Amino acid sequence: MPEIVKLNVGGAVNAALARALEEMPETLLYGEDVAKPGGVFGVSRGLHKRFGDRVFDTPISETAMLGAAVGAASFGRRPIVEIMWIDFSLVAFDQIVNQAANVRYVSAGRTGAPLTIRTQQGSAPGSCAQHSQNLEALLLHVPGIRVAMPRTPQDSYDLLLSAVACDDPTVVIENRTLYAGPKDAVEVGGPVRPIGGHRQLRSGADATVVVWGAVTTKVLDAVDRLEAEGTSVDVLEMVWLNPFDWDAVLDSVGRTGRLLVVHEAARTGGFGAEVVARIAESGVALRSAPRRVALDDSRIPSAPQLAAALLPQTADVESALRSLVAGGAE
Amino acid sequence: MPEIVKLNVGGAVNAALARALEEMPETLLYGEDVAKPGGVFGVSRGLHKRFGDRVFDTPISETAMLGAAVGAASFGRRPIVEIMWIDFSLVAFDQIVNQAANVRYVSAGRTGAPLTIRTQQGSAPGSCAQHSQNLEALLLHVPGIRVAMPRTPQDSYDLLLSAVACDDPTVVIENRTLYAGPKDAVEVGGPVRPIGGHRQLRSGADATVVVWGAVTTKVLDAVDRLEAEGTSVDVLEMVWLNPFDWDAVLDSVGRTGRLLVVHEAARTGGFGAEVVARIAESGVALRSAPRRVALDDSRIPSAPQLAAALLPQTADVESALRSLVAGGAE
Amino acid sequence: MKLDDLLAMWRIRALEEKIRDLRLEGSIVGSVHLSNGQESVAVAACSQLRPVDAVYATYRGHGWAVARGVPPREIFAELLGRVTGVNGGRGGSAHFSAPQHGFHGENSIVGAGAPIAVGAALAGRFDGSGRIALTVFGDGAMNQGAVAEAMNFAAAFSLGVVFVCENNRYSELTPIDDMVAQPDLSRRATALGIPAVRVDGNDLAQVRTATRLAVESAAAGRGPSFVEAHTQRIVGHYIGDAEQYRPAGELERDLELEPIARLTRELLAEGVPTEAVARCEERARAEMDAAADAALADPLTDPATAKDHLYA
Amino acid sequence: MKLDDLLAMWRIRALEEKIRDLRLEGSIVGSVHLSNGQESVAVAACSQLRPVDAVYATYRGHGWAVARGVPPREIFAELLGRVTGVNGGRGGSAHFSAPQHGFHGENSIVGAGAPIAVGAALAGRFDGSGRIALTVFGDGAMNQGAVAEAMNFAAAFSLGVVFVCENNRYSELTPIDDMVAQPDLSRRATALGIPAVRVDGNDLAQVRTATRLAVESAAAGRGPSFVEAHTQRIVGHYIGDAEQYRPAGELERDLELEPIARLTRELLAEGVPTEAVARCEERARAEMDAAADAALADPLTDPATAKDHLYA
Ligand SMILES: Cc1ncc(C[n+]2csc(CCOP(=O)(O)OP(=O)(O)O)c2C)c(N)n1
Ligand SMILES: Cc1ncc(C[n+]2csc(CCOP(=O)(O)OP(=O)(O)O)c2C)c(N)n1
Ligand SMILES: [Mg+2]
Ligand SMILES: [Mg+2]
């Protein structure tokens, strides 16, 4: 039976992992430092004690970790693998793109790879260029891979469970700056929802903002400033990027006639381009040209003042919204 | 002094490699089977005999191959590394994204990684899912990496030399189905051009087609059919994807008011989305909604009749162009 | 018994040669990698596996599929893009699988099958099946990081994996000895704490014994083993390979060493009647001709199904 | 001489402790990995290198940078995001480089520096510089495929690379012995045909000798060598590490073993005056305080430059 508990994002992930391990005996949880140490972010604390061998630490061998997940999954296990930083997945990208993504399709459905990759991404003050990237767009160009990006404690709990229950290889991209955030009331123990959908965070008539990831809070700050001035904005947080809730975006833009997409990943080739492209292709009437706010195509410097100059800030979102709304205001 | 010789694509690549090795003593050429065997596609034939140790075969160790290129390049060598299939780059993607792309930026310009990766991609009848992908979009989302995609013998010669001369890490993506194609007159020995630019293959007023890669020939077939009916189309082949000639595309669409982007890579998250997005953001007046023709998001099956059903065909381009031109025809 | 071995090897050889013919005549398209000359390793190793066990091979995996019991007709059909193919033509020559026969797939990324096999063994530890996994790869694959990672991973957790390295002296067109400083590849396994042996891959008995011990120790929970089987491919790396890399006389020597010639000599020396020996080849070829004809008569997979099964 | 060693090690220790203070007070932000307890390896190994040689380290590379002669002020400035930092703050604690000092960079991807070092040696073969490359990584990095590939690549082509494995018994928070079946990591190098030794990393002389021989053989064109240096980190993996993974009494033992305590004991036992010994620490701390103060007084790098140098 569902109950409400106070959890921060880290706690919510921990609760979801515990529930998956409890309710699905076929789950396995492993990764570097996840078991005895409980994870470098403490997110899997206590799970090795509680679930024993099904939760284990691994060598620093991402290719072996992910390959083992593909093999175990095709034999009915449900591996949940932690890749500590999404940047590290690049040493093992073959196992995601050439292996996991192909199992079901190439075998014509005779077998599959129901594995879950838990990872986290994004910039944080002082992180170096090899620990700061937002790489969801790479995965979203790989047919066969599901991608979720939770932000709140509730979504961190719900989406992870949906991912584990999903029969496709699914990457859940968290954000390390959120793990230790404020606790919030989280409904745990409720029904595990199917994958997909979005979050309507604000409702408005003047513009649509499509956003995902930690930068969403900056978007809300900017939107609230405009609200105060009487500009009302539809804010859609796309917690699932594959499947992507295209209908919701089309419907919203159809109503507002204005689109801004915001993500922390690099602008060029980012998934924001796909969102803008689909809207343009849909032929929906726009009151002003769509816009994107994203990382100003660059590597990410470690010094906070340098990174801040490149990453999307509240002020960038605010001014983009202002020009967007000014456009076609007549 | 420039001269004209008859070469197919494979011969043109071979000539460019020979010239680079001849004129730039700092170049190295290596990869699996490239030296003594002359390459699995015969493209580097004769170069080991002629240039000795600077051309060598390597173990099947893409990570070591690319890492070695990063290190050698930062010490003034100009490594030209062959990654036999772009699909294989995924076992070593870290060395491209986290290593090569960061050298110059993170060192604040004190050092760089002037290396060239020669690879080839695309579907060919019977190729399996792990040997058929078009992955340029992954590289185009990585700030710091240059990307070229030659198709004709002349461009295969010119772009490779421009890439080797370029001081940024550059990936030249060829296509194995073109190596043994018909010979054509190629100007060799001419000045090495800077990177960038596009090819205007057709000029017209009714629509703009932006395309890259081997599928360009299908686009030309489709366009020629429409030309016969009096529809004139601007065809821009983007032989350089980074840097991308945005001005040329904006200028053309500004004149035609209609845009079709065609690539063999998967539609969702493909670089076609970036092209459509930039046009939409530019606010240029469009007579009908932009369109894309691309791989119908899927893995690639080996059986030719199955792959053909998913990959962009001449007929797909033709019908897309017809609806594009019909749209806003009034 | 020995005649059964000969028949089993001829089945693979006949399948491969039929595939070559179909490829050369254009019925099969794309790149095809044959295992001619290496049949003994697949036959002997698979003879030691149980149905529950999982085999992971490479693009050079047709013989391993046959040795696992995948019906030849379904293999031909796969390469011919027929609906009766094990994957309806989606895998093709280099990437097909038939899990229902314990053949968990070829892999066209060098080394990538090894970590996946480790996962099959990992599952076996938890699902009570007693499954162990066998993964076969070539000499060149030993230089791919994935194989090193997979071997250590299996060793660290004593997972039931049998690593079989078919050392046919070449990685595509390049001699393995030019790509390593220590030609004894089995030492890499030993260094990771994995019991390793080097055997004459042309000797069915040696491969059987090595595999049996490896399977026993895996099944007993004692962890992985490594078998380096020295063999030779007596055809090109792929159909169309000009094989210019072969030193003069090598192929001739290899044709003496290869397991079918070798076993044939043995049997005749032991006084087995020529007809009995010859019948193995005839029977195998007849079977494969029939299987290929049946596959050719099967319908092509309907393109309308090309998008199915991308997601669950 | 021994006093010089003590001073050299104290310089690293004092730098690291100053960095820790700056991190704890918030002047430095982000994740920081200190090398306290491992100073002897960097000091002894770098003492055998020539200016032309190239060092590739990891995120735990501050000490190697100091040992290579990178000015401490430029290191502090780097971690503080100052314009005077070796990379103007772009690299930060875990990813800075100073090629002009033969320090070709830290790397924050485990194992990724090894193949790059191989490339530096490859360049050395062609540019007539006689350069050899030294790459240092941890015990845990031995399980990353990149390191296995790099070692074989260097061995196959006898490239002048010195592979130094700082075995500090832990990979982040996990004991290496739990992640391997064969705890002698040097065997992996031997298996690839690379001469390998295991030394007491706390013994400067042992590390010096091993490195000298490795550098000589690399410079002589005899190819790579491998040195496994047993050491210990006497602080957390990163600043903030609760270190719950340490068995009781381990840290106390390590504090006895660590090279500064050890050399201090030796010197005093040899009758070197306490003041002379103490002066090494005082002098090092004074230098680092001054360097840090200077760096703190330097201007922050101008955000307007944040986009520079993405491309040539
Ligand atoms: C990661 C990767 N790199 C390169 C290739 C291209 N390739 C296919 S087979 C092969 C040679 C493999 O040699 P070996 O492992 O000895 O197997 P064999 O072909 O001899 O059976 C290569 C380099 C690939 N498929 N995957
Ligand atoms: C490819 C990759 N995987 C994981 C990590 C996260 N990580 C950073 S340090 C580290 C432990 C490395 O241990 P070791 O090699 O022994 O070096 P040490 O930290 O002990 O010096 C890990 C797992 C990483 N940076 N890169
Ligand atoms: Mg081989
Ligand atoms: Mg360590």
Q: Report residue A145 as tokens.
A: 């891979």
Which residue, chain included where needed, has tokens 């944080």?
Answer: A124
B198 is an active site residue:
no
**Beta carbons of C177 and C98 less than 8 angstroms apart:** no
A127 is a domain residue? yes
Whether ligand 1 lies within 6 angstroms of the CB of C280 is answered as no
What's residue D1's pLDDT?
82
Residues B33 and B180 in one domain: yes
Q: Could you give the CA distance from residue C201 to residue C207 in angstroms, rounded to a whole number? A: 6
| pLDDT band at B131; cut points 50, 70, 90 | very high
For A140-175, write each residue's pLDDT tens digit.
999 999 999 999 999 999 999 999 999 999 999 999
* Residue that is last in its domain, among A188, A207, A225: A188
- Long-range contact pairs involving B33-39 (C-beta distance under 8 Å, separation at least 24): B33/B57, B33/B84, B33/C172, B33/C173, B33/C174, B34/B82, B36/C173, B36/C174, B36/C245, B37/C172, B37/C173, B37/C174, B37/C244, B37/C245, B39/B82
Q: Examine the domain organization and report whether B176 and B216 are in the same domain.
A: no
Same domain, A183 and A203: no
In a domain? residue D143:
yes
Residue B47 to residues B9, B17, B118, C179, D210, Cα–Cα distance (Å): 16, 8, 15, 19, 40
Phi, psi of B175 (to 5 degrees): -145, 120
Q: What's the farthest any 2 CA atoms get from each other in chain D?
A: 58
Q: Is residue B193 part of a domain?
A: no
Q: Which residues pair with B248 in a beta bridge?
A: none
**Dihedral pair phi/psi, residue B302, rounded to 5°:** -75, -40
Residue C310 lies in a domain: no
Query: Are the beta carbons of D231 and D41 closer than 8 angstroms?
Result: yes
Q: Which of A169, A188, A207 is the last residue of a domain?
A: A188
Task: Say if residue B48 is in the same domain as residue B76.
Answer: yes
Q: What is the β-pairing status of strands D54-56 and D174-175?
A: unpaired
- The distance of B76 to chain D (nearest Cα, Å) reads 8
Averaged pLDDT for residues B192-199: 98
Same domain, residue pair B174 and B306? no
Contact B302 C303 (CB under 8 A): no
Please choose, from the candidates C87, C53, C62, C68, the residue with its C-alpha nearest in 3D space to the C-alpha of residue A75: C53
Query: Atom 12 in ligand 1: which residue has the minimum CA distance?
Result: C171
Q: At a CB cut-off of 8 Å and minimum separation 6, what does D21 contact? A: none
| A293: three-class secondary structure by DSSP | strand
Task: Return the residue matching tokens 């012995």.
Answer: D177
- Which ligand 1 atom is the nearest neighbour of the CA of B131? 25
Confidence of residue A207 (pLDDT cuts 50, 70, 90): very high
Would you state the pLDDT for residue D148?
98
Q: Is residue C103 part of a domain?
A: yes
pLDDT at B272 over 70: yes
Residue A142's nearest CA partner among C293, B180, D70, C310 is C310
Neighbours of chain D (3+ CB pairs under 8 A): A, B, C
Nearest to A217 by CA among A122, A118, A85, A117: A122
The range of the structural domain enclosing residue C121 comes to: 2-305
In chain B, pLDDT over 90 holds for what percent of residues?
98
Task: With cut-offs at 50, 70 and 90, classify the pLDDT of residue A329.
Answer: low
Testing the interface with B: which of C173, C245, C300, C301 to mutate, by most B Cβ within 10 A? C173
Same-domain status, B289 and B161 = no
C228 in ligand 1 pocket by Cβ < 6 Å?
Answer: no
Is the Cβ–Cβ distance between B62 and B89 less than 8 Å?
yes
Q: Which of A60, A62, A126 sits opposite D141 (nearest CB)?
A: A60
Summarised one tens digit per residue, pLDDT across range B6-36 is 999 999 999 999 999 999 999 999 999 999 9
Q: Which residues from chain A sit within 8 angstroms of residue B106, using beta carbons?
A: 128-129, 299, 301
Question: Do the domain assignments include residue D235?
Answer: yes
For residue B330, is pLDDT > 80?
no
Asked if residue A193 belongs to a domain, the reply is no
Predicted structure pTM score: 0.98
Tell me if B253 sits within 8 A of B279, measured CB to CB: yes
Domain end call among A188, A216, A243: A188
Residue C52 pLDDT grade (very low, low, confident, very high; cuts 50, 70, 90): very high
Contacts C173 to B, Cβ<8 Å: 33, 36-37, 40
Residue B135 lies in a domain: yes
Cβ distance of D145 and C143 shorter than 8 Å: no
Question: pLDDT grade, residue B328 (50/70/90)?
Answer: confident
For range C247-275, the mean pLDDT: 97
Q: Please say whether the beta carbons of D43 and D67 come within 8 A.
A: yes
- Asked if the structure places residue C249 within a domain, the reply is yes
Residue C89 Cα distances to B287, C116, C299, angstroms: 43, 22, 11
Yes or no: say if C227 and C196 are a contact pair by the CB < 8 Å rule: yes
Structurally, chain D folds into a number of domains equal to 1
- The model's confidence at residue B93, banded by pLDDT at 50, 70 and 90, is very high
Per-residue pLDDT reduced to its tens digit, D161-183: 999 999 999 999 999 999 999 99
Q: Do C112 and A72 touch (CB under 8 A)?
A: no
Show the domain range for A244: 199-327
Same domain, A120 and A223: no
Mean pLDDT of D244-267: 97
Cα distance between residue B73 and residue B64, in whole Å: 14
Please tell me the distance from the alpha carbon of residue B214 to that of residue B156, in angstroms, as a whole number.
12
pLDDT reading at D206 higher than 90: yes
- Give the SS3 label for residue D165: strand
Query: Minimum-distance ligand to the CA of A63?
Result: 2
- Is residue A167 assigned to a domain? yes
Give C164's strand partners: C136, C227
- CA atoms of C266 and C55, how far apart (whole Å): 29
CB atoms within 10 A of CB D269: 8
Q: Which amino acid is at D80?
A: L
Asked if the structure places residue A170 within a domain, the reply is: yes
String of DSSP letters for D208-263: HHHHHHHHHHHHTT---EEEEEE---SS-SSTT---TTSPTTHHHHHHHHSHHHHH
Report yes or no on C187 lying in a domain. yes
Q: Is the C-beta atom of D171 inside 6 A of ligand 2?
A: yes
Instruction: Give me the interface pTM, i.e. the ipTM.
Output: 0.98
Answer yes or no: do B104 and B214 share one domain: no
CA–CA gap between residue D102 and residue A195 (Å, rounded): 52
Determine the atom of ligand 2 nearest the C-alpha atom of D168: 20
Q: Which runs of E-coded beta strand occur in A8-139?
A: 27-31, 55-57, 78-83, 116-120
Which B residues in the span 222-281 are in contact with A, Cβ-Cβ below 8 Å?
Answer: 265-266, 268-274, 276-277, 279-281
Residue D150's Cβ-side half-sphere holds a number of Cα atoms within 13 Å equal to 41
| pLDDT tens profile D94-116 | 999 999 999 999 999 999 999 99
Window 292-321 of B, Cβ < 8 Å to D: none
Specify the CATH number for the domain of residue D73. 3.40.50.970
* Confidence at residue B327, expressed as pLDDT on a 0 to 100 scale: 85
| pLDDT value for B329 | 64
Contact A72 C99 (CB under 8 A): no
pLDDT digits (tens, 9 = 90+) for A217-269: 999 999 999 999 999 999 999 999 999 999 999 999 999 999 999 999 999 99
Longest dimension (CA), chain A: 65
Which residues in chain C are contacts of A144 at CB distance < 8 A? 310-311
CB contact under 8 A, A302 and D92: yes
CB distance C302 to ligand 1 below 6 Å = no
Does residue A175 sit in the same domain as residue A231? Answer: no
Please indicate, yes or no, if residue D33 is contained in any of the structural domains. yes
Token readout for B11 is 């011969």
| CB nearest to A126's CB, from D30, D146, D301 | D30
Q: pLDDT at position C1, please?
A: 83
Could you give the CA distance from residue A239 to residue A236 in angstroms, rounded to a whole number? 9
pLDDT tops 60 at residue D186 = yes
Asked if residue A212 and residue A289 are part of one domain, the reply reads yes
Q: What is the DSSP letter of A75?
A: T
Does the residue C11 lie in any domain? yes
Predicted confidence (pLDDT) at residue D290 exceeds the cutoff of 90 = yes
CATH of the domain at B313: 3.40.50.920
Q: What amino acid is encoded at B132 in this protein?
A: S
For A172-185, write each residue's pLDDT tens digit.
999 999 999 999 99
The one catalytic residue among B48, B131, B198, B263: B131
In one letter, which amino acid is C137?
A: F
Of D148, D182, D193, nearest to C181 by CB-CB distance is D193
Tell how strand B55-57 and strand B78-83 pair up: unpaired
In short, whether B64's Cβ falls inside 6 Å of ligand 1 is no
> Do A77 and A137 belong to one domain?
yes
Greatest distance between any 2 Cα atoms in chain B? 65
CATH code of the domain covering residue B44? 3.40.50.970
CA of C142 to the centre of ligand 3 (A): 10
Single-letter amino acid, residue A51? F
How many Å lie between the centroid of ligand 2 and the Cα of residue D246? 17
Q: Helix D72-79 vs helix D2-25: angle between axes, to the nearest 10 degrees?
A: 20
A196 part of contact set with chain C, CB < 8 Å: no
Residue B27 bridge partners (DSSP): B78
CB contact under 8 A, C188 and D193: no
* Per-residue pLDDT band at A328 (split at 50, 70, 90): confident
C303 and B305 in contact by Cβ < 8 A?
Answer: yes
pLDDT band at A19 (very low <50, low <70, confident <90, very high): very high
DSSP string for D64-106 = HHHHHT--HHHHHHHHTTBTTSTTTTSS-TTS--BGGGTB---
The pLDDT tens digits of the residues spanning D258-271 come to 999 999 999 999 99
Total domains in the fold of chain B: 2
Mean pLDDT for B170-183 is 98
Q: What pLDDT, in 10s, does the model give residues C137-186? A: 999 999 999 999 999 999 999 999 999 999 999 999 999 999 999 999 99
Residue B1 is predicted with a pLDDT of: 80
From C172, C188, C237, the mutation candidate for ligand 1 (largest count of ligand atoms within 8 A of CB) is C172
Say whether both A183 and A232 belong to one domain. no
